[in-house]
Chain A
Amino acid sequence: MVTSALDARITLEQMRGSAKRRRKERLVKAVLGSAAAVGLVVSIAIVVALIGEAVSWLTKIHLSWLWAGAWSPRTNEFDLPTIFAGTVLVAVIALAVAAPLGLGAAMYLSEYARPRVRRSLKPIVETLAGIPSVVLGYFALTVINPDIVKKVFASAGTFTFLAAGIAVGILTVPLVASVAEDAMFAVPRSLREAAYGLGARRRTVTTKVVFPSAVSGVVASLILGFSRAVGETMVVAIAAGATGSALRTFDPLSGGQTMTGAISSLAVGSDQVRGSSLAFPSLYFVGLLLFAITFVLNLVSERFVRRVRRMH
């Protein structure tokens, strides 16, 4: 009696299931794992490709060419301050547009909009994020610059950093709004209710309770927005007059070159750009700088986002 009951007990071997089933499990796990490794391979490929090509370019040039006063690859002038200035100028203008619009929209959606309104407005904001940048570039060139920038500043040219920056800002609004809204919406209800219980009004709750609690997420949204603006290419290539060469300038009403604009005009390879055999490969070096800058910005913003998650 006793032994037969022991025999009927399920053994460890039986619990493991059939060998065939286990083999399949292992196979599936290996396949999925290798798919996950692709991302890492891509990152390594980016870094290796960029560094390899950039270093081989750097060894062929004189380092003084990187501080030549103007960006003109055709004549071996690869002035880094020129394209840095252009990039920073466009990104700052973009953030000046995207920060108030994006954060305002985020506050409204998170704190004021009724659930039904929120549900219908959020997808529309997301749709805005789906507009290709080439379309915004066209919009900057044909509407923002002639109808807004030139009407306000008579001295503005056909291509201006200002128009490009505004358009990049419009592109960045959905990103800023969505990341900031996530952070504000995640602030616990109890904090809001405690403030209401003390007699605070909705504006006070929004600005003095929700905003400070969500500040990490707000900062993250702004850094991400800045990073996105630094990497934006098509708007700049179309509306900032990213031609072959440009002078070092900080004037938002003039046109000029940015890092991304420099890469794209080297790639498209108009005759103004080619000429020197060292011109084309300079795009690898600029690409490496761009990658490094956005990489650091993204890492920093990730830090801030993680802080939000820890807090709530």
Chain B
Amino acid sequence: MSAVASGAGVHSSVELALLGRKSDVKGRLFQAVLLLTLLIALGVLVVLLVTTLRTAWPVLTERGWSFVRSDVSSLPSRAGVWQGLIGSMILVGFVAVVALPLGVASAVYLQEYARDTRLNRLLITNVRNLAGVPSIVFGILGLVVFVQALRSVTGPDSYGKSYISGGLTLSVLVMPIIVLVTMEALRAVPGSIREAAYGVGATRWEVVRSHVLPYAAPGIFTGAILSMARAFGETAPLLLVGSITGYLSTPSGRGPLEVLQGKYTALPTQIYAWTKLPGEEWQANAAAAIIVLLAMILVVNLFAIILRNRYERKW
């Protein structure tokens, strides 16, 4: 009886010694502080959504779909986001057509073809640096190259301030990001997959096309989608390449090329313009436009995350 009791006593004293004599208050506190920083960062997102939604609520409930379908107007009660929404979609379309194939091709070269030479190392370092260049600098590049130098192509009648200029500027901006995420996705495909293909006599391109790219596809698409979302919300470079912040007339009966060479606006530029206008009504409009913008971006992000979680592979 007493042996058992003393055994339990030894057991608990050993346990106490192992766990530390007092409970680890500082450690708990440290963990709580760390969790708090994470929660603050996420809490800001919630506060931002809630306050914006509250300001936007009257506009969204009273005007609802007509706010989405209305054009830009000087009257706050008539202004809507339709032109901006269409404009942003055309710009993102440019990114999809120009930056996506170029970016993926570039990444395939750098990751699958390039040997470790000085030139290739320079190319990779250069892409990394481009991804960190402030977006407004790309705006200046677009202004000099697309708006001024190539005016006769990008928009002879709109002083070069056209969808083409805006779309190409955003493409140049997003391309380095697409290259980096694609390279990451390609790197994640194990070498054994490639060697299996080489082993049965495939050429390098056959290996890439039929083995590496299919396995890397989910990663590439996720990255591409996130880059499109980035392009959708990008504002600063568009200010330089002439996205209209005021009234925009969209005459009907123009051909596709004339539309693309014509003046344009985008959703984020409209938000910027409305934020700068005085009066509560414009603030409410800006908030409502932000809700439209965030809704699109969050849906796209969610889609990308689901895609990744669903098709992600563990090797």
Binding site for B on A (CB under 8 A): 17, 21-22, 24-25, 28-29, 31-33, 35-40, 42-43, 45-46, 49-50, 53, 100-105, 107-109, 112, 121, 123-128, 130-139, 141-143, 170, 173-174, 177, 201-203, 206-207, 224, 227-228, 230-234, 237-238, 260, 263-264, 267-268, 283-284, 287, 290-291, 294-295, 297-299, 302
Contact = CB atoms under 8 A, between A and B. Distances in A.
B236 A234 contact: yes
Among B38, B113, B144, B287: residue with most chain A CB under 10 A? B38
Contacts of B16: none
A175 to B, nearest CB: 10
A133 B235 contact: yes
B217 interface: no
Given A131-B297, A138-B52, A173-B41, A284 B140 contact: yes
Contact of B235 (A22, A143, A206, A234): A234
B37 A100 contact: yes
A192 B169 CA distance: 47
B230 interface: yes
Q: How large is the interface on B (under 10, 10 to 19, 20 to 34, 35 or more residues)?
A: 35 or more
Interface in B97-123: 101-102, 105-106, 108-110, 113-114, 122-123
15 contacts: A24-B203, A29-B204, A35-B101, A35-B105, A45-B145, A50-B144, A134-B233, A137-B275, A138-B286, A230-B134, A231-B136, A264-B136, A284-B140, A287-B136, A302-B129
B256 interface: no
Contact of B35 (A108, A130, A131, A295): A108
B45 A131 contact: yes
A171 to B, nearest CB: 10
B35 A112 contact: yes
A130 B226 contact: yes
B87 to A, nearest CB: 15
B42 interface: yes
A107 B42 contact: no
Given A46-B133, A291-B133, 9 more contacts: A36-B105, A39-B179, A42-B172, A124-B42, A131-B297, A202-B31, A233-B235, A234-B236, A263-B139
B268 A134 contact: yes
Contacts of A203: 24, 26-27, 30-31
B305 to A, nearest CB: 5
Contacts of B40: 101
Contacts of A137: 272, 275
Interface in B230-250: 230, 232-236, 239-240, 245
Given A35-B106, A143-B51, A233-B134, A135 B205 contact: no
Q: Which 3 A-B pairs have the closest CB atoms?
A: A231-B134, A132-B233, A104-B37
A130 B134 contact: no
Contacts of A127: 45, 298, 301, 305
Contacts of B34: 104-105, 107-108, 112
A142 B136 CA distance: 24
A239 B276 CA distance: 10
Given A17-B203, A43-B130, A138 B41 contact: no
Contacts of B48: 131, 135-136, 139, 143
A1 B145 CA distance: 71
A297 B129 CA distance: 10
Interface string B130-154: 1011111111110111000000000
B13 interface: no
A174 B226 CA distance: 15
B272 A234 contact: yes
B41 A125 contact: yes
A201 B26 CA distance: 10
Contacts of B236: 133, 233-234, 237, 260, 264
B36 interface: yes
Contacts of B30: 203, 206-207
Contacts of B143: 267
A177 B39 CA distance: 13
B294 interface: yes
Interface string B235-277: 1100110000100000000000000000000001001100110
B75 interface: no
